[in-house]
Amino acid sequence: MKRFSPPHTVLALLCLLYFILFVNRVNISTAGPLMKADLGLSNTQLGLAFSAFSIPYALFQLIGGWIGDRLGARFTLAACCTIVCLTTVLTGAAGGFTSLFLLRLALGFGEGAAFPTATRAMSAWTPVSNWGFAQGITHSFARIGNAATPAIMAALLAFVSWRESFAIVGVASLLWVFVWVWYFRNEPKEHPAITKGDLAALPVRSEERARASAPWLRLARHILPVTLVDFCYGWTLWLFLSWIPAFFFENYHLNLQSSAMFSAGVLFAGVVGDTVGGVVSDRLLDATGSLVVARRSVIIAGFLGGFTFLVPVILIHNLTVTAVCLSLAFFFAELIVAPIWSVPMDIAPRYAGTASGMMNFGFGVAGLVSPSTFGYLVDRTGSWVFPFLASMILLLVGAVLAARLRPDRRFSMP
């Protein structure tokens, strides 16, 4: 039986972190209709509350990646998760739009540095040949969080109020912090259970290299094409994360439990898409030796597939057809995740935290405008068609931009 090594355990802990972060991020989507009625919010205000998360989240993609590179993943991720847990607990005490908006801002501060810093941890604790798989499986757990959250929240809401449900989720999530601080080390060689065989399979890193300061402007110019592609992907993902439960609830007049079930089915397709995208990308790299083929082709396929299956959603008003097509659209959109998160690692492995933060800045900016725009358009037009059309346009733009990505051009100092 193959030994479950420290690198495997670290990857498992990161998978659990991604699950926890997304449960705490999207639980508001399921509780949203109850919060909207209780707090007297409009769709526009609820959309602004969704988007508030992304203001500090986008900023901390840049600052947080640098913090993770400088302070290390052990401290940074522990601090991030602690902030997320406390903010979630306090969300249960929100008294209106203003306090809810401020608490979502605080949640964005907590999550902002997490994903770039986790990418830094992966770059140290995962063999280069498995980077696509590592990104795919961790983001699969994020999508399991997406898919499970409607069911988790619906179950809690059957017994407690929406306020108490946030407190329960936040306190339970805090357990991860203690395990992470106890087990993880910034450098694999410092872990008491690591073996020479484990170290031989991991990337070679020196302490000086690990803490090197990133040349911000040069690196940002190099990463900018990936940032733009990530914005196009992020627009659609934020739509799914923020509005799919409300879409089923309001557009098809389902009760909370039924809308949660349909939402979970749609979001579960993303779990499969994340894993498949990472596995296919790594296998293409192994078969062709080309980063362009391994990363770019999977990203383009994801954008085009997502566009194709959103078409029936706006043309056919049928619950079954909509649920199936939304699931397929989300599956293809999530094929993008593993290869696009691998691209900063391919381009700038020395500055993996900072580079991936710069890339995910595009996702954060999309989060600023996508949920609030969606809510505004629904209020303004009384229709769910126009917000989906905007996502379809950006999926096509993303495919065009992705065709110009060059993950094979390694960033280097002059």
Q: What is the CATH number of the domain that holds 211?
A: 1.20.1250.20
| Number of helices and strands in the chain (H, E) | 19, 0
- Position 366 scores a pLDDT of 85
The answer to whether residue 414 is domain-embedded is no
| CA dist 173 → 88, 145, 152, 283, 393 (Å) | 10, 12, 13, 34, 37
> Alpha-carbon distance 190 to 185, whole Å?
6
* Nearest in space to 112 (alpha carbons), one of 77, 149, 154: 77
pLDDT in tens, 148-163: 887 888 889 889 999 9
Residue 412 lies in a domain: no
CA distance 225 to 326: 28
Half-sphere exposure of 191 (CA within 13 A, CB side): 24
- Give per-residue pLDDT as tens, 51-91: 788 788 878 877 777 788 788 889 999 999 999 999 999 99
Q: CA-to-CA distance for 27 and 46, rounded, in angstroms? A: 13
What is the rounded distance in angstroms from the CA atom of residue 133 to the CA atom of residue 110? 26
Integer Cα distance of 37 and 407 in angstroms: 47
Between these two residues, 392 and 357, which has the higher pLDDT value?
A: 392
Q: How far apart are CA 35 and CA 40, in angstroms?
A: 8
- Residue 413 scores a pLDDT above 60: no
pLDDT at position 133: 83
Cβ distance 364 to 59 under 8 Å?
yes
Contact between 75 and 120 (Cβ < 8 Å): no
For 364, the token pair is 């954060």
The answer to whether the CB of 73 falls within 8 A of the CB of 119 is no
Looking at residue 19, what is its pLDDT?
95
* Residue 353 belongs to some domain of the structure: yes
Residue 182 lies in a domain: yes
pLDDT at 206: 47
56: left (phi over 0), alpha (psi -120 to 50) or beta: alpha
Q: Which of 111-115, 208-212, 348-352 has the highest mean pLDDT?
A: 111-115
Q: What is the mean pLDDT of residues 19-25?
A: 91
Model confidence band, residue 214 (pLDDT cutoffs 50, 70, 90): low
When mean pLDDT is compared across 28-37, 250-259, 277-286, 360-369, the lowest value belongs to 250-259
Q: Look at the chain and report how many structural domains it folds into.
A: 1
| pLDDT tens digits, 84-132 | 999 999 999 988 889 999 999 999 888 888 888 888 888 888 887 787 7
Tell me if 60 is assigned to some domain.
yes
210 confidence band (pLDDT: 50, 70, 90): very low
Contact between 21 and 107 (Cβ < 8 Å): no
Cα separation, 295 vs 53, in Å, equals 29
**Cβ atoms 27, 260 nearer than 8 A:** no
CA dist 86 and 108 (Å) reads 12
Contact of 244 with 267, CB cutoff 8 Å: yes
What domain range is 96 assigned to? 6-402
Taking the C-alpha atoms of residue 344 and residue 68, their distance in angstroms, rounded to an integer, is 15
Query: What are the structure tokens assigned to 378, written together?
Result: 């629904």
- Do residues 187 and 124 lie in contact, with contact meaning Cβ atoms separated by under 8 Å? yes
* 339 within domain boundaries: yes
150: its two tokens: 């409607």
Question: Which pLDDT value is given to residue 320?
Answer: 83
- Distance between CA 325 and CA 159 in Å, rounded? 32
Quickly state the pLDDT bin for 11 (edges 50, 70, 90).
very high
Q: What is the pLDDT of residues 246-287, one digit of tens each?
A: 778 776 767 766 777 777 778 788 888 888 988 899 899 888
Q: Is a pLDDT exceeding 70 seen at residue 212?
A: no
Give the tokens for residue 25: 């991020």
**Please, what is the average pLDDT of the chain?**
84
Whole-angstrom Cα distance, residue 287 to residue 298?
A: 14
Residue 54 tokens, joined: 């992304």
Q: What is the pLDDT of residue 213?
A: 59
